[in-house]
Amino acid sequence: MKRYIFIFFLMIFIYGCGYHVMGRGGDSLLSGINSVAVPVFKNDTYRAGVEVIITGAVVDELVNSVSIADSEVADAAIEGSIKNYKLDPVSYSSREVVREYRLTVILSVRLIRKSDSKVLWRDDNITDYEDFLVDTADVMATKDAEKTALRKIARDTARLIKEHILEGF
């Protein structure tokens, strides 16, 4: 009997929390939209190539959830710009040499329905950061660590964008 009561309360809890299967929620901003274009994000920073990594992460995150199409034929577009790419020292060695940096990226992203140019969703301040270690003996290792941090930020941000668009979070 206790087991059935537990299951009953568990079901009430799950349904009461608004749980739903991804892509099935009524809050999807893509209702009535069959395909989405993701043009390369605009890069307003000094760091070349960051737009390719972030745009690629968004496409990779969405490809299994929506149909990705060219801008000319898509029903909607996800347009974005990288507003800021900033490296700040986080920790120093005893000799006052930087040991760790924090990479912070700020994006502006919007979902636009192409038929009437209506902005369905926008966030002008998507911010994420990742810390990485400095290898004072190997500059290339430090550059690789920075690129790894950027890729993680891109994946996490792409997941956040997908959740906002598909799930209304």
Q: Is 145 exposed, middle or buried (0-12, 13-18, 19+ CB in 10 A)?
A: buried
Cα separation, 116 vs 56, whole angstroms: 26
Measured at the CA of 122, the angle between CA 118 and CA 126, to 5 degrees, comes to: 165
Measured at the CA of 89, the angle between CA 87 and CA 91, to 5 degrees, comes to: 150
Domain boundary assignment for the chain: 24-167
Q: What mean pLDDT do residues 122-137 have?
A: 96
Cα separation, 18 vs 57, whole angstroms: 28
pTM attached to this predicted model: 0.80
Tens of pLDDT along 67-115? 999 999 999 999 999 999 999 999 999 899 999 999 999 999 999 999 9
CATH number of 24-167: 3.30.160.150
User: Residue 42: left if φ>0, alpha if ψ -120 to 50, beta else—which one?
Assistant: beta
116 has a pLDDT exceeding 80:
yes
151 has a pLDDT exceeding 70:
yes
5 has a pLDDT exceeding 90:
no
